[in-house]
Every structure is written in structure tokens, then in C-alpha cells.
């Protein structure tokens, strides 16, 4: 065999090996796709429990009415034999006045803010003994960076201590920016506020904008305990730009525990009226009608569970006290306010809005607010917070301004547009 024939044979062997590699890679790719589909379906089966009834919401959501005892909470190993507590043993003193729930306050200009509900209610309600759960879709999970991260906060690997990064360990790390009011230095057993609800514009799908209450305890390094509740716009999580009610919890600074809403085991819901993660409607509009929600989170002094109430009369459910380490006793800090993600994807500050997208000095009807801010003390009394402080990373982007009067008690306006001539 001459040299040309040898070269030709070597060439044929080389091409054959390439073909084999291509086939192997294609086969491996096909197997990985099949494996991913299997894992996604497995996760969907875990999250979407059998429904007694399903309701199609006008926004495209499916709300499944799931028997209370079948909800995701009971997938948690600590809750396998848990007996559901159907009502808190004690409500905070001051929540009721003259035997009735406190009514919505007037705004400081004399006008009233209006109460709101959830969009899916227009097409039905869930029967007694069930809870409404927003159905998770395949696309919801595929938007996450990986299946395990779906429903969890990301980019929280480094949470600075308060003295080095601002209150609550939230000093602008990983592109997160805030405009908050806060209290610290005491033992707190809950927090309450009324928040008006907007639809802030989001620049990038991986960004979000929220307004919430944080109930916090721990060192803010690796063992932060947090219970959070409010409203948010998060295209990555929900697949749209709707404003939605949400909750979150963690016991280890967002590393491995906790999740949004009912997307993991933990929170036990008892209410058949309100769906976590569902769209809130109607919303406030600029220089027009204002709509707000009231949120209360407090610790039952008898059982030690942390309860959540929505509005004036909807007790939603509770986080069992034994899920937590530091919060099994009390909170050491309470925060109220807004948060956004500033991804700076184009090298500039994001145009993602916080609150209404307007600065606090514009006031009622234009800026977003928290009013009737209260904490729950060691005697289970709702009271005005002492020494309320404020914090923001850059008040040229988002700001916060405190106030106090007879109608609103302690309140603040907050928010902003993000990128502007003073916030490039």
C-alpha cells in the first residue's frame, strides 16, 4: 500500500470517528432532553396537587382548589404528622376595635383608599375545606436557571451584615436596591402595614419590583431567618408583568430553605379565598383612584406559629414555628418598603420602577405608600414603632420619606423611576 492509499485510509477512519462522535453527542443530547422533561414533569407532579375544582382566571392562570390536607406544606418531613391549626389562639391586641375589625383609614388629604381582591374571583371561588393554589406550568419551571432553583430567590449568596451593608443586610449586593423604613434593637413578634398596589414597569425579565414587609432574625450571613409578604411584579417567576400577592420564607439566608408562595413545603394555608401568587385587581393609577392591601404577620404566643392575615379579615395561614431557628423566639428587625433588581444589562442603571415609579415627594395619588405601620410587641399588642429609620442605596434612583398624622399613623412614601438624569 503506497503512501496515498495510507493517507486515504486514515482520512476514512478520521471521518468515521467524527460521525461516531456526532451520533454519540446527538444521542447524549436527546437523552438529556428526555431526562429534563422527566424531571420537569416530576416537579410539576409534586407541586400541582389533585384538584377538587379548577378555575380559569381572566389572566390565563389556573387556580386549583386543593383539599387542605393535600397542600404542598405536608411534603416537608417535619410536617408529616402535623395537625392543622385552623385559627390562631390569639390575635394581636388593637386589631379589633369595639368588637369589630378596624376599618380602612382615610388618606391624609381626606380621601379614602379602596380595598381590592384577586382577578380569579370573577370566575368562581373555592369550596370550604379546600385552598386555592395557582397551578404551576411547564414554562414556569423552564424559565428558571434550573429546576431546583424554581420558586427560590437567587443571587443571595453574600448577604452583608447590617453595619457593613445597611439594615437587614441588604446593602445593594448582587444588584438589589431598596427604599425601606425599619426598626431594630428590640424583640418583635409581628408587623403590620397597609400598602397601595401598583404595576411598576420592569426593564428585563430577570428583574423584579416588589413592596413588602420583612420579619427578620439572625446574623445575615448564613443563618438569616426571614418571613416576607407583599406584592410583586416578576416576569421570570410568573411569566407576565401582573402585580401579584406573594410570600417568602427562609431559615438560612436564601441558600437552601424556603421559597415563594406554596412552591415548596412550609407555609400551611387554611383560607379558601386568597391564592398566593395570584393577580391582584384593581390597581392604583397615577393621579387617580388608589387601591391598597393590608398585611399582618404575627406570632401566636401560645403555639409559636407565625400567622399571616390579608386585608381586614382574611387569615391565610401560618409558618410553623419549628421551621425556624431564630424566629422560633422573636424577630430582631422589621423592614417595610420596596426592592428592585438592577441588572445593569446595558451598562446603565435599570429603568425598572419601584412602587409607582415616582419619587416620594410627589405624595398621595402619585407616589407609592406604606401607612398605619405597626409592630407587635412582647405583650401581643400592636403599637407604633419606635425610632423608625430609613435606608436606600441611592436616593437619586429610589427614595423614601417618613411622615406621621392622626389618620395614617406612621407612614412613608417611597419608590422612584430608576434610571434618570441623576441616576445614570
Which residues form the catalytic set? 228, 339
DSSP 3-state of 131: strand
C-alpha cell at 295: 398585611
Distance CA 29, CA 299 (A): 50
The one-character DSSP state at 114 is B
Taking 3-state DSSP, the helix, strand and coil percentages for the chain, each rounded to the nearest 5, stand at 20, 35, 45
Consecutive H or E run containing 399: strand 399-405
Contacts of 1 (CB under 8 A, 6+ apart): 9
DSSP string, 258-279: --BTTSSS--EE--SS--BTPB
Q: Which residues of 313-333 are buried (b: 16+ CB within 10 A; e: fewer)?
A: eebbbbbbeebbebbbebbbb
> Of 353, 354, 376, 364, whose CA–CA distance to 405 is shortest?
364
Choose among 156, 155, 150, 126: nearest CA to 263: 150
Contact between 278 and 269 (Cβ < 8 Å):
no
Please answer whether residues 278 and 244 qualify as being in contact, where contact means their C-beta atoms are separated by less than 8 angstroms. Answer: yes
Q: Say how many C-beta atoms besides its own lie within 10 A of residue 132's C-beta.
A: 28
Cα separation, 215 vs 188, in Å, equals 8
In this structure, are residues 280 and 245 in contact, taking their beta carbons and an 8 Å threshold? Answer: yes
Q: What is the DSSP string of 191-247?
A: EEEEEE------SSTT--EEEEEEEEES-SSS--EEEEEEEEE-HHHHSS---EEEE
Amino acid at each position: 500500500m503506497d503512501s496515498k492509499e495510507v493517507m486515504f485510509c486514515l482520512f476514512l477512519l478520521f471521518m468515521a470517528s467524527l460521525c461516531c462522535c456526532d451520533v454519540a453527542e446527538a444521542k447524549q443530547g436527546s437523552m438529556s432532553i428526555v431526562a429534563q422533561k422527566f424531571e420537569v414533569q416530576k416537579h410539576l407532579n409534586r407541586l400541582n396537587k389533585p384538584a377538587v375544582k379548577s378555575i380559569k382566571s381572566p389572566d390565563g392562570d389556573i387556580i386549583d382548589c386543593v383539599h387542605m390536607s393535600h397542600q404542598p406544606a405536608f411534603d416537608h418531613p417535619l410536617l408529616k404528622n402535623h395537625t392543622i391549626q385552623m385559627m390562631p389562639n390569639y390575635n394581636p391586641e388593637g386589631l379589633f376595635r369595639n368588637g369589630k375589625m378596624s376599618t380602612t383609614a382615610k388618606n391624609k388629604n381626606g380621601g379614602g383608599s379602596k380595598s381590592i381582591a384577586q382577578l380569579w374571583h370573577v370566575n368562581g371561588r373555592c369550596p370550604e375545606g379546600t385552598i386555592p393554589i395557582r397551578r404551576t406550568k411547564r414554562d414556569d419551571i423552564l424559565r428558571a436557571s434550573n429546576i431546583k432553583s424554581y420558586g427560590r430567590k437567587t443571587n443571595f449568596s453574600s448577604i452583608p451584615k447590617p453595619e457593613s451593608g445597611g439594615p437587614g443586610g441588604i446593602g445593594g449586593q448582587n444588584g438589589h436596591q431598596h427604599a425601606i423604613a425599619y426598626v431594630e434593637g428590640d424583640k418583635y413578634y409581628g408587623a403590620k402595614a397597609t400598602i397601595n398596589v401598583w404595576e411598576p414597569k420592569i426593564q428585563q425579565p430577570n428583574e423584579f419590583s416588589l413592596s413588602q414587609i420583612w420579619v427578620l432574625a439572625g446574623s445575615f450571613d448564613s443563618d438569616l431567618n426571614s418571613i416576607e409578604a407583599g406584592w410583586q411584579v416578576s416576569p421570570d417567576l410568573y411569566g407576565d408583568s401582573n402585580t401579584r400577592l406573594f410570600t417568602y420564607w427562609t431559615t438560612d439566608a436564601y441558600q437552601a430553605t424556603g421559597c415563594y408562595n406554596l412552591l415548596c413545603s412550609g407555609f400551611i394555608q387554611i383560607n379558601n379565598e386568597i391564592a398566593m401568587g395570584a393577580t391582584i385587581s384593581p390597581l392604583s393609577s397615577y393621579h387617580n383612584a388608589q387601591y391598597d392591601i393590608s398585611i399582618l404577620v404575627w406570632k401566636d404566643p401560645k403555639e409559636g406559629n407565625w400567622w399571616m392575615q390579608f386585608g381586614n379579615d382574611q387569615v391565610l395561614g401560618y409558618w410553623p414555628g419549628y421551621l425556624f431557628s431564630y424566629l422560633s423566639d422573636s424577630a430582631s428587625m422589621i423592614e417595610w418598603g420596596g426592592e428592585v433588581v438592577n441588572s445593569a444589562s446595558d451598562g446603565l442603571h435599570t429603568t425598572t420602577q419601584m412602587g409607582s415609579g415616582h419619587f416620594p415627594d410627589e405624595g398621595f395619588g402619585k407616589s407609592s405608600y406604606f401607612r398605619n405601620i405597626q409592630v407587635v410587641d412582647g405583650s401581643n399588642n400592636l403599637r407604633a414603632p419606635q425610632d423608625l429609620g430609613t435606608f436606600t442605596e441611592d436616593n437619586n434612583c429610589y427614595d423614601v420619606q417618613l411622615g406621621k398624622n392622626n389618620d395614617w399613623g406612621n407612614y412613608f412614601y417611597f419608590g422612584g423611576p430608576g434610571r434618570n438624569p441623576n441616576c445614570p
